[in-house]
Amino acid sequence: MAISCVGILKRIITINILVGVVFFLNYKLTERERGQTLTYSFQSPAIVENDVADVDYYQDDNDDKNRAHAVDMVAPPKDDNKTMLILIQSWWEHENYKTGSTQFQECEETRCDITMDKSRIREADALVFLGQSYNFVKGDIPTYRRPDQKWIFVTREAPLRGYFVNSNHAVLRHAINLTATYRADADIQWPYGYYLPRTTPYIQKPLQRKDPKNAITWLISHCRANSQRMSYILDLQRYINVDIYGRCGPYGCPETGSCVEYLASKYSFYIAFENTDCEDYITEKVWENALNTGMVPIVRGTKTDFSKFLPPNSFIHAESFGTAEYLAKYIKYLIDTPSEYAKYFEWKKSYETFLGGQMVFRCNMCKVLHETRYEQRIADLDKAWNAERQCFKYHAELEKELGLP
Ligand SMILES: *[C@@H]1O[C@H](CO)[C@@H](O)[C@H](O)[C@H]1NC(C)=O
Ligand SMILES: *[C@@H]1O[C@H](CO)[C@@H](O)[C@H](O)[C@H]1NC(C)=O
């Protein structure tokens, strides 16, 4: 009897504690919600005229010395059903961005509209600045900014290639709210490619028997690059044949048809070396030229964790062999052992790859604009987009000495 009394007492105490917790959580929630209604000010689009010179978003923020991203989160109201107007402020020269709300029809989040008409800046919820635009023209830097407007930094290039050239750099360095890049930490993801669990049936094609003497190919048009990829290949060629196509080698693709498809019909391995060795920088060389066509990409780079981005066991990482000689030995082993080579295609049973076209950018941007309707800024773009930290610098002179064009 006494035992069960204690039991009941225990239960009562537990229930009380639970009620207390629930009450406390409820209280907290109301507090938060109250806070939201008070601090949230996006519903009334207050138009403020500003002169570029005195706006405070150009000032260096000492509090954020060690943080690239500074975020103050205030969740958007649940009943919000706003269409976000995105203004493409600068884009690749001569390229007109496809405009209109229909551009978002196939996205998960469709409530966006896109324009290139700069006279609509007052309506725009977001402005897009292409950070690799070498011909930034007068008028690409607005003299007006609505306080709730998100300014988006977009680039497909690595930090070593520079961004916001000349005076635009100083103006925009502290004015950006979101980044849209290939980097894993970008606010808006725009990779060159990605893979997902397969949703379509896998049809296994027998691996084509290709000429074992010509196993490796490389299609290249910029012979000299910061990553000194050519030097590596010249070294590799001492141990194994590499057929170089394009401006920097003796071979040429047929006049008609896809060059990479042609290469894939002949070669088993594709050199997919980037022009710079920067974190997360994996381009169409890997996705489009190699993985998509059925060649095994040979990648190189010390700053990128390739296994984080590419399908499992789908690529060969040059650095993991130490020297070019050992890489050559391994490639020869794979050529002699087709069952081992075939393992580089096992991933296709479970995954499929996709290319990161403009649609990926648009859809992700629209989604993020709806998700991040709180205050968010990049305190200093130089820290978020930093060649010193994010790229490995080789000695620039070496390839010049080799006499490369
Ligand atoms: C949101 O807006 C769209 C288009 O204006 C409308 O069709 C839809 O019913 C709205 N949804 C809500 C939940 O208000
Ligand atoms: C965008 O960034 C600027 C510059 O840091 C900042 O002043 C502004 O409050 C931010 N706006 C939003 C809506 O996040």
Backbone angles phi, psi at 297, to 5 degrees: -75, 135
pLDDT tens digits for 62-102?
Answer: 334 334 444 444 555 555 688 999 999 988 876 778 899 99
Q: Which residue has the higher pLDDT, 143 or 150?
A: 150
Report the alpha-carbon distance of residue 277 to residue 205 in Å, rounded.
34
- The mean predicted confidence, pLDDT, of the chain is 80
Q: How far is the CA of 179 from the centre of ligand 1 (A)?
A: 28
Pocket test for ligand 2, best of 42, 50, 57 (most atoms within 8 A of CB): 57
Residue 13 carries which side chain, given as an amino acid letter? I
The DSSP 8-state label assigned to residue 307 in this structure reads: H
| Amino acid making up residue 75 | A
**Neighbouring C-beta atoms of residue 292, cutoff 10 Å:** 17
Protein residue whose Cα sits closest to atom 12 of ligand 2: 375
The pLDDT score that the predictor gives to residue 29 is: 33
The H-or-E segment that residue 195 falls in is strand 193-197
Query: Atom of ligand 2 at shortest distance to CA of 176?
Result: 2
The alpha carbon of 81 and the centre of ligand 1 are apart by a number of angstroms equal to: 6
DSSP 94-115: T-PPP-SGGGGTTSS---EEEE
- CB 225 less than 6 A from any atom of ligand 2: no
Find out whether 112 and 88 touch, Cβ atoms under 8 Å: no
CA distance 218 to 312: 23
* Minimum-distance ligand 2 atom for the alpha carbon of 55: 7
Q: Count other Cβ atoms within 10 Å, centred on residue 328.
A: 21
148 CB under 6 A from ligand 2?
A: yes
Give me the pLDDT at residue 162, please.
75
Type and span of the H or E element at 394: none
Task: Compute the residue count for the chain.
Answer: 405
CA dist list (Å): 393 to 40, 190, 277, 301: 45, 24, 7, 11
Residues 37 and 276: their CA atoms lie apart, in Å, by 47
**Where is average pLDDT lowest: 36-50, 156-170, 256-270?**
36-50
Q: What is the pLDDT of residues 197-221, one digit of tens each?
A: 999 999 887 777 787 888 999 999 8
Our measurement of the distance from residue 376's CA atom to the centroid of its chain's CA atoms, rounded to an integer in Å, reads 19
Q: Which ligand gives the minimal distance to the CA of 59? A: 2
Q: From the CB of 177, is ligand 2 less than 6 Å away? A: yes
CA of 172 to the centre of ligand 2 (A): 12
